[in-house]
Amino acid sequence: MKAKVLIVEDEPAIQELLAFNVMQAGFLALRADDGESAWQQIRAARPDLILLDWMLPNTSGIVLAKQLRADAATKDIPIIMLTARGEERDKIQGLESGADDYITKPFSPRELMARIRAVLRRHAPQLQDETVDAGGLQLLPAAHRVSAHGQNIELGPTEFRLLHFFMSHTERVYSRAQLLDQVWGTQVFVEERTVDVHIRRLRAALEPLDKDGLIQTVRGSGYRFSAN
Ligand code: CA
């Protein structure tokens, strides 16, 4: 599962450079050149992170960041603000508008990618390509493989995403609605009992290796991945 990075930048050359680097880093690049097209992309594709230029035509990046934070559907999408201004008070204003990080142009692509990875690691660890170890299971996102005791476990794509999410967020209880949001995405309208179907399949796949007990049902609340 590749993280989707929305680039909101009106200068074509910089937008191109950003998209190139984002794709090189293994992410999907979405593009917008003003606030209106940014909102269209956000509603249609729900990006995992937004690179937001401060100076945009019509709606400034600051205003857009505030709008994103004020909307329940978008308030949790991390934002990295891009700007040509480097003054301390601009930085403070950028962060106060709701940005998670701030980078000054001209930026080094390497530094920008490091910031993107750091922000994604905090907000959406399941989108990282790093191997996840939990409860005696090892999950390799890029290879789409899960194993226990060196033995491979066959999983369907939804069960894989579900397990990846759980292994990245252990010991916490998630309601069915939260799992739908996190694993299926907010643009998908499926019934909550769909979650139960996939939990059942996931447990069935883990059962031969005696790992089905990792997925616990918490009565009246939802599900939890627990190694305890
Ligand atoms: Ca600009």
Q: Rounded to two decimals, what is the model's pTM?
A: 0.62
For residue 180, report the distance from its CA to the centre of ligand 1, in Å. 36
Place of tokens 């066959």: 154
What kind of fold does domain 132-225 have according to CATH? Arc Repressor Mutant, subunit A (1.10.10)
User: 94 φ, ψ to 5°?
Assistant: -60, -45
**Using one digit for the tens of pLDDT, what is the confidence trace for 122-181?**
777 666 677 889 999 999 987 889 999 899 999 998 999 999 999 989 999 999 988 988
CA of 33 to the centre of ligand 1 (A): 9
76 CB-near residues (< 8 Å, 6+ apart): 123
Among residues 220, 226, 127, 213, the alpha carbon closest in space to that of 176 is found at 220
How many whole angstroms separate alpha carbon 123 and alpha carbon 120? 5
Q: Would you state the CATH architecture of domain 4-127?
A: 3-Layer(aba) Sandwich (3.40)
CA of 61 to the centre of ligand 1 (A): 9
Q: Domain ranges for the chain, please list them.
A: 4-127, 132-225
**Beta partners for residue 51, in sequence order:** 7, 80
- 220 Cα–ligand 1 center, Å: 49
The model's pLDDT over 211-223, given as tens digits with 9 standing for 90+, comes to 999 999 999 999 9
Residue 31 Cα to ligand 1 middle (Å): 13
Exposure string of 64-83, with b = 16+ CB inside 10 Å and e = fewer, is bbbbbeeeeebeebbbbbbb
Domains 4-127 and 132-225 share a fold: no
User: Residue 60, SS3?
Assistant: coil
pLDDT tens-digit series, residues 51-96: 999 989 988 999 999 999 999 888 889 999 998 876 777 777 777 8
